[in-house]
Amino acid sequence: MAGADFAEFRERYGQWAIVAGASEGVGASAADLLAKRGLNVLLVAREADRLQKFADDVRRRHGVEVQALSQDLTAPDAAHRIVEAIAGRELGMLFYNAGAVRNGDLFLTQPFELPMRMIQLNCTTPTALIHMLAPAMVERGRGGIVVVGSLAAMCGAPHIAAYSAAKAFQVNLMEGLWAEIHDKGVDVLEALIGSTSTPGRARGLGVTFNPEVDMTPEDVAADIIENIVSGPTRIVAKVGTAGTGPLVKPWTEFRHVAVNHMIGAVSEFNKRTKPADS
C-alpha cells in the first residue's frame, strides 16, 4: 500500500491514532505502520524512557506528529488520562494492544490483585476508551477501532483462567460493537493473535523464536493494519502447528454466523417489544 492508497487510509483513519501498549512488540510495529501511512500518533505505554526514544525515532523517520504518554493501563484513571492527552484533536483510530499481567500460577493460588489487574487491563480500560472515543467517529462517519486479543479467548485454560476470560470479554464486546456501528462507517476489529515472538515474552518467559509456530510482531501488525475492515474478528496466527488449528476454523465460522444471526434476532425482538402507539 502506497501513494494514493496511503491517502485513502489517512482519509478514513486520520488525523490522529492512539496506540496503547506502544513501546515494543505488536504495538510498536503497528504505531510505525500507522505513522508511515501519515497518521499522527499518541503512543501510550508504561516505560517512559523507552517510549520517548521510540516516539523520537518514529517522528524522525516518518515526519508526523508523535506524542508519548507514560501511562499504566491497569490504573483506574488510565482511560481518562489518555482521552485528556488527545483532547482537541481529531481521532480516527484506536489501536488497543494490551499485554498480559504475567503469572503462571493456578487461579486459586494467585494473589487476587493479579486477575483484577488483568480485568482492568483487558476489559475495563478498553471499554472506557471505546465508550469515550467512538461517538465522535460515528458522528463523522469514519474511523477504526482495533483491539488485539488472543486465541486464548476460544476457551478457558489452566494457568491463564483470568487471561482467557478477559480476552473472551473483548471478543463479545467488539462483536457487539461491530454489529452496532460498522454500517456507520467505523471499522471494528478484534484481532485474535497466536504465538508471537515479542520482547516482553522473551524477557518474561524466556521463549525463543520458533519459525514453525511463531509470528513476528511486524508481521502480526502488518496483517492487522491491512485487514481493519475484516471485522468483527480475525485470526492472526500460524495455526497449523500451534495446537489450536482444529479449533480455529469452526470457531471463527460459528462466530461470524452467530453475530449476524443475533443482529436479526435482536432487531426482531425490539420490534415485538416496542410499545404500541397510544
Task: Give me the pLDDT at residue 276, please.
Answer: 52
Task: Give me the pLDDT at residue 15, please.
Answer: 95
CA geometry: angle 27, 91, 13, nearest 5 deg: 75
Interacting residues of 121 by C-beta distance below 8 A, sequence separation 6+? 73, 74, 98, 99, 100, 101, 166
Decide if 263 is inside a domain.
no
229, pLDDT greater than 70: yes
Decide if 159 is inside a domain.
yes
Domain ranges, residue 102: 4-247
Decide if 276 is inside a domain.
no
CATH number for position 23: 3.40.50.720
Phi and psi at 92, nearest 5°, equal -115, -10
Q: Which of 9, 13, 54, 163 is catalytic?
A: 163
Decide if 210 is inside a domain.
yes
Domain total in the chain: 1
Task: State the Cα–Cα distance between residues 165 and 155, nearest whole angstrom.
Answer: 8
Phi and psi at 213, nearest 5°, equal -120, -40
The edge-to-edge listing of strands for the beta sheet with 40-45 is 66-70, 40-45, 16-20, 91-96, 143-150, 186-193, 233-236
Contact 239, 248 (CB under 8 A): yes
144, pLDDT greater than 70: yes
- Provide the mean pLDDT of the chain: 88
Decide if 272 is inside a domain.
no
Phi and psi at 247, nearest 5°, equal -90, -30
Decide if 75 is inside a domain.
yes
Contact 188, 178 (CB under 8 A): yes
Decide if 150 is inside a domain.
yes
Q: How far is CA 46 from CA 64, 73, 172, 174, 189, in A?
A: 22, 8, 27, 25, 24
Looking at mean pLDDT, say which of 173-177, 207-211, 240-244 comes out highest: 173-177
Interacting residues of 277 by C-beta distance below 8 A, sequence separation 6+? none
User: Looking up cell 492508497, which residue turns up?
Assistant: 5
This prediction's pTM: 0.89
241, pLDDT greater than 50: no
- Is 13 among the catalytic positions? no
State whether the Cα torsion 26-199-169-44 is positive or negative: negative
Decide if 137 is inside a domain.
yes
- Residue 227, classified by CB atoms within 10 Å of its CB into exposed (0-12), middle (13-18) or buried (19+), is middle
pLDDT tens digits, residue range 190-208? 999 988 766 665 555 566 6
Q: How far is CA 268 from CA 4, 33, 220, 256, in A?
A: 42, 42, 38, 19
